Amino acid sequence: MPQDRVLVGITEIVGGVAGIDQADITPETSLADLGIDSLMMVEVVVAAEDRFGLLINDDDWPRFKTVLDATRYIDQAARWPYR
């Protein structure tokens, strides 16, 4: 799965959860700066799992500080053969 496709998907999800225009979100955008708190992050994670067909380990998602962090994680997880 191309990383740019993942980035677009994560941007759409984060924008939808945070109620922010996707044009205002960059890969370096901090999730905290977008107002994503822990409850909203659960929404982001569930939506990403559904969209990309994978599971995000509960120990991993708290490490997502930026949109790019989440994008890289999902890109790598999609390449892993034992999802």
Burial class (CB in 10 A: 0-12, 13-18, 19+), 15: middle
| 3 state DSSP class of 2 | coil
Q: In terms of C-beta density within 10 A (0-12 exposed, 13-18 middle, 19 or more buried), how is residue 10 classed?
A: buried
37 a catalytic residue: yes
The active-site residue, picked from 4, 24, 33, 37, is 37
Which active-site residues does the annotation give? 37
